[in-house]
Amino acid sequence: MTAAGEAVGLFERSYGAEPTQLWSAPGRVNLIGEHTDYNDGFVLPFAIDFRTVLALRPRSDGRIRVASTFADDVVDVEVNELGDIFPGDRDRVAEWARYPLGVVWALAELTGKTGHGADLAFASEVPVGAGLSSSAAIEAATATAIDALWNLGLDRPTLARASRRAENEAVGAPTGIMDQMASLLGEADSAIFLDCRSLDAEVVDLGFDGAGLELLVMDTRVSHAHSTGGYGDRRAACERGAKALGVRALRDVTIADLERARELLDDETFRRVRHIVTENQRVIDTVDTLAMAGPRAIGPLLDASHASMRDDFEISVPELDLAVETAREAGAIGARMTGGGFGGAAIALIERGTADTVARAVSRAFADAGYVAPSVFPVTAAGGARRDG
């Protein structure tokens, strides 16, 4: 069944009525630009053709009810009670419900306005924890729906900021704004070139369709066991590096500055810094290359990004390296791990029609190495959050 069908079915079972609106928002893949977000740098994500669907019916009172195919229970609150729940008393609601209710709260906080309540039911095609940002998808679907319900008239970057605030403060996850921007601003066959300092976002043509290319996601199913510690560690190294170099953030360090950085920093901090500085440049180079030479020419940048994360930032794992190497041997134009590291997924840019061949090669290599079977599937760059019915 489609996610829309599931959302409608769940709505009817949960609330005993039919929904009057359907909304959806996509997950995302980051094409290039890893760990650059918290260094005030650049990222290049795109929205994908896996969506979270929201079935909704406005209410005439101030109640908000949320249901999800992930959860057994409906969570039921009053709009004017959200300020008591978030952020301090968030334990009062189930963890998953903090994502949508946190967005409702953040929009009310931001605008000082609220409106009638609503009944909401979610179903999703975005796999959780595969690095495709199911969290941004549920947030963006909620944000666009509530913006319309309350006649807030907010632009999409503002909805992204409110969604991020929900994830940071209502859920308590310290994430950047990339995922929400991608889910809200995505367009078909396009990526979002995002400056994480100014939050300027530009939609850039990927041209995969015209060039006969596809993007394959290779989820290693390795869970991010060290991700919390490792992430904090890398962030600290970046802050240390920026401080020693006398800049506000590593965004302000150029490739030409690296020679001086090597003299000032210990070897490990230097390599962490070098990843960020070269990765920022690779994002800019990818945008330029897409425009000047087309998508086939970005392969070496994807490959260099992987090498930098493996050797300088040291956030890869053997499963990610194997997926990347095998994809390349099976004909991929370029491949890299994506996401925070220590597990999760890699991506490969491939010729259209070769997804099965590459997927089989990766699965075989994992079996030979004794690794858990990976989940390998193609994604296409798709439109952002929208009303579907």
Q: What is the DSSP string of 248-285?
A: SSGGG--GGGHHHHHHHS-HHHHHHHHHHHHHHHHHHH
Query: x/- contact string, 172-201, with Mg ion (CB under 5 A)?
Result: ------------------------------
* Shortest Cβ 123–ligand ADP spacing (Å): 6
Residue in the shown chain whose Cβ atom is closest to Mg ion: 135
Candidate ranges 130-138, 204-212, 271-279, 311-319; the one touching ligand ADP (CB under 6 A): 130-138
Residue 50 contact among Mg ion, ligand ADP, none, beta carbon within 5 to 8 Å by kind: none
Does residue 38 contact residue 176 with C-beta atoms inside 8 Å?
yes
Provide, rounded to whole angstroms, the least separation between the CB of residue 195 and ligand ADP: 22
DSSP line for 107-174:
HHHHHS-----EEEEEEE-S-TTSSS-HHHHHHHHHHHHHHHHTT----HHHHHHHHHHIIIIII---
Q: Are 51 and 134 spatial neighbours (Cβ–Cβ below 8 Å)? A: no
Cβ 7 to ligand ADP, closest distance in Å?
9
* 3-class DSSP state of 25: strand
Does 30 sit near Mg ion (CB under 5 A)? no
Catalytic residue among 179, 219, 303, 312: 179
Establish whether 179 is a catalytic residue.
yes
The DSSP H or E segment spanning 53 is strand 45-58
Distances (CA, A) of 209 to 192, 215, 296: 17, 10, 11
Burial class (CB in 10 A: 0-12, 13-18, 19+), 143: buried
Could you say whether residue 124 binds ligand ADP (CB under 6 A)?
yes
| Burial of residue 17 (number of CB atoms within 10 Å: 0-12, 13-18, 19+) | exposed
CB of 132 to ligand ADP, least distance (A): 6
Of the candidate residues 30, 36, 39, 52, the single one contacting ligand ADP (CB under 6 A): 52
Binding mask 131-160 for Mg ion (x = CB under 5 A): --x-x-------------------------
d(CA 135, CA 180): 9
Per CB under 6 A, the list member of 129, 176, 294, 383 interacting with ligand ADP is 129
Q: Which stretch binds ligand ADP (CB under 6 A): 93-101, 206-214, 347-355, 371-379?
A: 93-101
| Structure tokens given for 253 | 């360090």
Cβ-count burial of 182 within 10 angstroms (0-12 exposed, 13-18 middle, 19+ buried)?
buried
Q: Residue 94: how many CB atoms within 10 A of its CB?
A: 16
**Out of 93, 138, 191, 290, the residue judged to bind ligand ADP by CB under 6 A:** 138
Query: Which of ligand ADP, Mg ion, none does 122 bind, CB closer than 5 to 8 A by kind?
Result: ligand ADP
Cβ proximity to Mg ion: between 133 and 305 the closer is 133
Contacting residue, 14, 68, 142, 220, with ligand ADP by CB under 6 A: 68
| Contact call for residue 96 and ligand ADP (CB under 6 A) | yes
Asked if 233 and 268 touch (Cβ cutoff 8 Å), the reply is: no
Count Cβ neighbours within 10 Å for each residue of 306-323 and write b for 16 or more, e otherwise: bebbbebbbbbbebbbbb
Neighbours of 294 (CB within 10 A): 16
**Total residues contacting Mg ion (rule CB under 5 A)?**
2
Pick from 17, 128, 255, 373 the residue near ligand ADP by CB under 6 A: 128
**What's the rounded Cα separation, in Å, for the pair 123 and 52?**
6
Residue 95 or 202: the one with the smaller Cβ distance to ligand ADP is 95
Positions in 159-218 near ligand ADP (CB under 6 A): none
- Told to check if 99 binds ligand ADP by CB under 6 A, we report yes
Of 298, 305, 299, the residue nearest 327 (C-alpha): 299
Using CB under 6 A, pick the residue from 12, 63, 70, 87 that binds ligand ADP: 70
Region of 101-109, 126-134, 262-270, 313-321 interacting with ligand ADP (CB under 6 A): 126-134
What letter does residue 381 receive in the DSSP assignment?
Answer: B
Q: Which residues are catalytic?
A: 179
Give the footprint of ligand ADP on this chain (CB under 6 A).
Answer: 52, 68, 70, 95-96, 99, 122, 124, 128-129, 131-135, 138
Residues forming the site for Mg ion (CB under 5 A): 133, 135
